């Protein structure tokens, strides 16, 4: 059972994320996307953690997630937490790839970059990839899918 405060926080988070998705700012390559990207990561991480801790319902799919035990990326919740931490703590070296720092790269459709033997990018024509270090967060396959799942976890509280 959630407290009234937790219900309000969940409802606010869901509404905030939906507003950002409806704005289509995440599908832009101009500077507007960064603010929306940071805001959605903060709200989505909060909902994912609340779902895990308060409901014991972790969103834990691993499709297109590079597992990284050192960075605590074991599933999509870990991936979104990693991205949120990178954008909120820019001094972190977690977004470094060898001696290169890779942050805020966006790949609309298939595309990417190669550094040594590592390819960083998006392998889907119908998705948008955001890059931090060696990790890519996909708009449709990670952000929207995890939002739908976490929203379903809280459905009884959103009535």
Strand 135-138, strand 128-132: pairing: antiparallel
In a domain, 148, yes or no: yes
* Domain total in the chain: 1
Tens-place pLDDT, residues 39-61: 999 999 999 999 999 999 999 99
Residue 66 lies in a domain: yes
Domain membership flag for residue 9: yes
Tell me: the pLDDT tens digits for 78-127?
Answer: 999 999 998 888 766 555 545 455 566 889 999 988 878 888 889 999 99
Let me know if residue 153 belongs to a domain: yes
| Residue whose C-alpha is closest to residue 77's, from 95, 89, 86, 65 | 65
For residue 21, tell me if it sits in a domain: yes
Does 124 reside within a domain? Answer: no
In a domain, 75, yes or no: yes
Q: State residue 99's pLDDT score.
A: 47
pLDDT band for position 139 (cuts 50, 70, 90): very high
Quote the CA–CA distance of 62 and 76 in Å, as a whole number.
6
Domain region containing 66? 4-91+136-157
Q: Is residue 41 part of a domain?
A: yes
The pTM (predicted TM-score) of the whole model is: 0.90
Q: What is the DSSP secondary structure assignment for residue 57, as one 8-state letter?
A: -
């Amino acid at each position: 059972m959630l407290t009234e405060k937790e219900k309000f926080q969940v409802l606010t988070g869901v509404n905030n994320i939906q507003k950002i998705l409806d704005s289509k700012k995440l599908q832009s390559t101009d500077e507007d996307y960064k603010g929306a990207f940071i805001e959605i990561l903060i709200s989505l991480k909060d909902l994912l953690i609340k779902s895990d801790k308060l409901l014991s319902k972790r969103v834990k799919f691993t499709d297109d997630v590079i597992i990284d035990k050192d960075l605590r990326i074991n599933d999509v919740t870990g991936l979104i937490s990693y991205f949120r931490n990178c954008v909120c703590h820019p001094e972190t070296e977690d977004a470094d790839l060898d001696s290169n720092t890779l942050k805020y790269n966006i790949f609309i459709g298939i595309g990417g970059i190669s550094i040594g033997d590592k390819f960083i990018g998006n392998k889907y024509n119908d998705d948008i990839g955001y890059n931090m270090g060696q990790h890519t967060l996909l708009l449709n396959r990670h952000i929207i899918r995890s939002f739908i799942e976490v929203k379903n976890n809280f459905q009884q509280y959103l009535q």
